[in-house]
Structure 1
Amino acid sequence: MKTEELWTRFSTDLLSFIQKRVRSEFDAEDILQDVFRKIHLSVHTLSDESKIQSWMYQITRNAITDYYRTSARRNGAETHFDDEIELIEETEEASNLNNLVSGWLSCIVQDLDEKYREAILLTELGVLNQKQLAERLGISVSGAKSRVQRGREKIKEILLACCHIERDRLGNVIDYQRKSVSCNCNLC
């Protein structure tokens, strides 16, 4: 895979990832450039291209860690253990792609039939419980539960038809791969 293709596909997401962890916008852009320099120099060593995204995020996390270590040395300050633990926890939390994949849900929900879309929007993405949904729609509670459950199933079908999702033992998304070029999930 060429570096230019990787830049086009991932630079925006990686920059956003970095900006959430670095206060300075300029530093974030510098880190992104450094990340892509490292990617360019070592992309040929990647044996499994299906793991490219997780590999790139690992390079990015390492670059952010290096940034903080360099900053601490430059300022003559030692990093505090609590600060390091917090940085590690933030990068571990961010290493999964839960937020990215959950961001696709609003687009996927729009593709559902009206009755399922409404049920999901009001309960899963809204503030109503299933009993309140039943009252609002004038249907039985079991009917409301069925709509929500079917809506969930349809969302899962749409998502899994479009993308292969890899999760860790805790259920966190750690990688995804589009199954076809017509996949619109990561465009949401």
Structure 2
Amino acid sequence: MIDETGCIKAIGQGSEDALEQLYNHYCDRVFNTIISYTKNEEDAEELLQDVFVTIYNTASNFQFNSSVSTWIYRIVVNKSLDFLRKKNSQKRSGIFTSLYVKDSSEIKYESPDFVHPGVKLENKEDAQQLFKAIDSLSENQKTAFILTQVEGLPQKEVAEIMKQSRKSVESLVQRAKASLRKELEKLYPERGK
């Protein structure tokens, strides 16, 4: 266990050792959260670095109004959602470009057979379908679902990360589950019975 508050204070004063300590403590969890959004290891690794660069650059401004983990997850979620917005914008412009320009350079999309690193081999196909269905959720539902159901964070912490009430997070998770249930029942009608 590390002294997270001490780490942030030291990072705020430029300590790379403290950043390394914080990175080693959080990197796996942060990576798993990011890859739940990006579904691409290269993009997730790039965003992981971006998150810790942001932590290094902004640690001196951290007010300790929330826990360190809440602050880190807020950075992770914001970076991930920004990445998705940018990627979706590139996809749209890529579609228009390819309509008018032959042999346009390809835009790299996420792998259609993405499997979250924490999924067991025998559940691989189901996980692929689940993550495709998760992509259809609104940003808030996706974030609430990923943080509570995939990453296992308590709703109270997710509420702080999302700057929403606990009831709102609970409602988002319920709506996300209902949407996912409908989406997955289309793919697996025999399982709904």
> TM-score scaled to structure 2, two decimals?
0.46
| Bigger Cα Rg | 1
| Structure with higher strand content | 1
| Structure with higher helix content | 2
> TM-score scaled to structure 1, two decimals?
0.47
